[in-house]
Amino acid sequence: MAVAPPGGGVDHGAVTSRPAPNATRGRALSRRSFLGGFAAGALAASGLAGCAIPKLPDLAGKDPFSLGVAAGEPGPDGFVLWTRLAPEPLWPDPAAPGGLTTGDIVLRYDIASDPGMRAIVRSGSAVAEAAYAHSVHLEVRGLAPGRTYWYRFTSGDAQSRIGRAWTAPPVGRPLGQLRFGFVSCANYEHGYFAAYRHLADQSPDLVLFLGDYIYEYVERDRPTVRRHSDDVEAATLPTYRNRYAQYRLDPDLQRLHAETPALITWDDHEVQDDYADRWSKTFDDPAVFLERRAAAYQAFYEHMPLRPSRSRPQGPALRLYDRFAYGDLVEFSMLDERQYRAREACARRPDAGGGHLEFDALCAERKDPSRSILGAAQEGWLFDGLGRSRAQWNVIAQGVLMAQLRQRVPIVGTVGHWTDAWDGYPASRDRFLAHVEASRVSNPVVVSGDIHSFWVNDLKRDFDDPGSPTVATEFVGTSISSIGPSYSQFMAWMPDNPHVRYFESRQRGYVFVELTPGHMTAHLRNLSDVRDPQAAVSTLRSYIVESGRPGAVPA
Ligand code: FE
Ligand code: CA
């Protein structure tokens, strides 16, 4: 491949090869270079002309790359690189996100074939877009397949840390192994992110984020370890932005992103607990709630290594679901089970706007075949892709528990179902598992989050028939830090759920997966103490899925 000298510009998507005449390329991010822009911009943007002038941030000596770097969505010829300029990452003035009020800023990027950044293979300019809080989403294409690369951003005197990314082997080409972790539910207030650090220590090829990357609410009822900085529920663009910024300031999360390319989907807390499409659990006017969703989606985009060509938000819409194939070994289907889902069944009581327990005698809507957790378009896209996949393993990565969970109410004896997980959309689940069986999808494995506990499940063609075949396997990672549900209560339900092979809600951590053509081995990794930033990690259990045999067994 052509090797561009440092400073040589190459056009790629959002990249501009030459800075615009007045761009700030090559100028240090100092107080001086921003002062003029800040005063004018702050007044204009906040409409404060004639009122009290907000205090200017002092940017002298501040690191514009305080939020680190990230790579995502690796493909055979490239990936997306991310950073966001934020010399004052938690600056409270909405008119100055990250402390900046300037227009677009042109940065330089370098990609090298060595970790010391000596053998530069690509350099050019990338735009930190003011409209997106000075975030950069650089789509890099045209690199050699199956290689590891390192990258860095530069603005004037300031340089970002060096990140690592890789390109995949071409689709269909033999690939002997892939090692990846999957993570979910990182409530900053509930503990430290030591689990992210331990995953980074294992140097996985890939990390899958399965949702609840941030939590929008502020904990008022349960013990906390550290606090959300602004002490308000995120509900607007500035408050969502600062929430992401606070999480990204965490050294363990920042390091994981710098060292590991990511595939990312979301669950509910990136917007609001248990929301469904335009329906808020607090019964907000859907038109008003969609404005909140638009702000949340924009802040999500601003902080994630997502391709602008696919995922740039359009008002309250953001296309997130996608598939990624690595050699002949695996295809990941990343699902979005929030944006298009039907409203939770029988969401009518004041205490039952989002997820709640429903009983068949009282709620026929749950089983309505027209309801979908994915929406018709995504369901069709998923079925089509799985039907055509030639990969040995097909990983379906998504937010919420797919297996049925019969929840028997003591004394009364009736069985209920939780409406926010796939149990709230049994017809949708039925269509999915019927398709997996009928189209003979090769080694389907569902990985899930949301429920703050480890699960190893057989996904049955018919959960109500004990003799029904297992058609897929489900692993649920526990939370990175979020408080888990009651162990004794869930264990009391297990006799009604024989397809659950393992359950543990008292541990925080993640799942580390070793994938080869013959086996998928999932190591359930747990922390010694989520309240200890230096917590140790160990392997609680390991489960193995043999190719051709759905259902995991102890390794
Ligand atoms: Fe969660
Ligand atoms: Ca959730």
Ligand that lies nearest to the alpha carbon of residue 478, given by its number in the listed order? 1
The third-level CATH classification (topology) of the domain covering 31-163 is Immunoglobulin-like (2.60.40)
Contacts of 22 (CB under 8 A, 6+ apart): none
DSSP 344: P
Contact 243/228 with Cβ under 8 angstroms? yes
Integer Cα distance of 524 and 475 in angstroms: 9
Which class for 541: exposed (0-12), middle (13-18), buried (19 or more C-beta within 10 A)? middle
Following DSSP, what letter does each residue of 17-53 receive, concatenated? Answer: SS--TT--TT----HHHHHHHHHHHHHHHHT-TTSPP
Which among 206, 67, 73, 205 is positioned nearest to 139, based on CA atoms?
A: 73
Q: Is the pLDDT of residue 37 over 80?
A: no
Contact 337/212 with Cβ under 8 angstroms? no
Q: Separation of 85 CA from ligand 1 center, angstroms? A: 28
**What value does the CA radius of gyration of the chain take, rounded to a whole number of Å?**
23
Ligand that lies nearest to the alpha carbon of residue 453, given by its number in the listed order? 1
Q: Separation of 482 CA from ligand 1 center, angstroms? A: 6
- Confidence class for position 56, pLDDT limits 50, 70, 90: confident
What confidence tens digit (pLDDT) does each residue in 482-497 have?
999 999 999 999 999 9
Residue 348: its pLDDT value, please? 79
Q: Is the pLDDT of residue 229 over 50?
A: yes
CB atoms within 10 A of CB 4: 16
* Tokens coding 213: 């990357």
Q: What pTM value is reported for the model?
A: 0.91
Q: Is the pLDDT of residue 204 over 80?
A: yes
Ligand that lies nearest to the alpha carbon of residue 185, given by its number in the listed order? 1
Integer Cα distance of 153 and 132 in angstroms: 17
> What ranges do the domains of the chain cover?
31-163, 178-554
Q: Separation of 267 CA from ligand 2 center, angstroms? A: 5
Burial 87-108 (b: 16+ CB within 10 A, else e): bbbbbebbbbbbbbbbbbbbbb
Residue 27: its pLDDT value, please? 38
Integer Cα distance of 169 and 368 in angstroms: 43
Q: Which CATH number fits domain 178-554: 3.40.50.620, 3.60.21.70, 3.40.50.720, 3.50.50.60?
A: 3.60.21.70
Residue 151: its pLDDT value, please? 98
Q: Separation of 555 CA from ligand 2 center, angstroms? A: 29
Q: Separation of 183 CA from ligand 1 center, angstroms? A: 11
**What is the CA 25 to chain-centroid distance, rounded?**
31
Contact 6/122 with Cβ under 8 angstroms? no
Integer Cα distance of 160 and 168 in angstroms: 25
DSSP 220: -
Integer Cα distance of 69 and 161 in angstroms: 7
Indicate the SS3 state at residue 513: strand
Which pairs from 45-49 meet CB under 8 Å and 24+ separation? 45/94, 45/95, 45/101, 46/93, 46/94, 46/95, 48/95
Q: Separation of 448 CA from ligand 2 center, angstroms? A: 10
Contacts of 51 (CB under 8 A, 6+ apart): none
Integer Cα distance of 107 and 78 in angstroms: 19
Q: Separation of 479 CA from ligand 1 center, angstroms? A: 7
Q: Mean pLDDT lowest for which of 17-26, 222-231, 477-486, 519-528?
A: 17-26
What confidence tens digit (pLDDT) does each residue in 387-444 have?
999 999 999 999 999 999 999 998 899 999 999 999 999 999 999 999 999 999 999 9
Residue 516: its pLDDT value, please? 98
Q: Separation of 478 CA from ligand 1 center, angstroms? A: 9
